[in-house]
Amino acid sequence: MKKHHILKDARWIIDLGAAPGGWSQIAARVTDSTNESIRVAAIDFLEMDAIPGVRFLQMDFLDDDAPAKLLEALGGAPDIVMSDMAAPTTGHQRTDHLRTMHLCEVAAHFAIDVLAEGGHFLAKTFQGGTERELLNLLKHNFRQVVHMKPGASRAESVEMFILAKGFKGRKSSVADSEPG
């Protein structure tokens, strides 16, 4: 993530699938967020210890009212939406893959709905896994889309992230008009 400098100018961040809070802590630090002046909103259906400068919602991101609640908690348009959400594993690889991809897709639509122009979207996906439709949607709405493997992940891990940089803004969005 460092290499891509997405955190350098970040002012407002939304962290999806935040527990136990590693990314939220970094987000609060880079945005100089404090409880008096919140710059980071986070969500997880698991509990998370309070982190100074992070407004935390314990709820399912897939709930209909989660997007509005996150925006209200932040109080401004985010310039980064990041998602480390992973579906609880069932042991059935295909099912786990589809569930995590669904979370990635919902997160991408949320990012396109709420990001400030120029903002970035980072989300967990699977090796070789980003579906063509999602990739096309991101490529249309962001200036650059790259896959990356986090430095810390084990070589044999299938964990991958997709980073979409430079949101073009909703004027040019085709989020709702892309053919099914």
Q: Any idea which residues carry the catalytic annotation?
A: 124
Mapped onto helix, strand or coil, the DSSP state of residue 78 is coil
Cα 104 to its chain centre, rounded Å, is 8
User: What CA dihedral angle connects 115, 116, 119 and 123, to 10 degrees?
Assistant: -10
Q: Which of 86, 116, 135, 158 binds ligand SAM (CB under 6 A)?
A: 86
Q: Which residues of 22-55 are buried (b: 16+ CB within 10 A; e: fewer)?
A: ebbbbbbebbebeeeebbbbbbbbeebeebebbb
Least Å distance, CB 85 to ligand SAM, is 4
- Mask for 18-57, x = binds ligand SAM (CB under 6 A): xxxxxx-------------------xxxx-----------
Q: CB of 95: closest distance to ligand SAM in angstroms?
A: 14
CA distance 40 to 25: 9
- Which residue stretch of 2-10, 12-20, 128-136, 139-147 sits at the interface with ligand SAM (rule: CB under 6 A)? 12-20
Given the complex with ligand SAM, which of 20 and 76 has the nearer CB atom? 20
Binding site residues, ligand SAM, CB under 6 A: 17-23, 43-46, 60-62, 84-87, 103
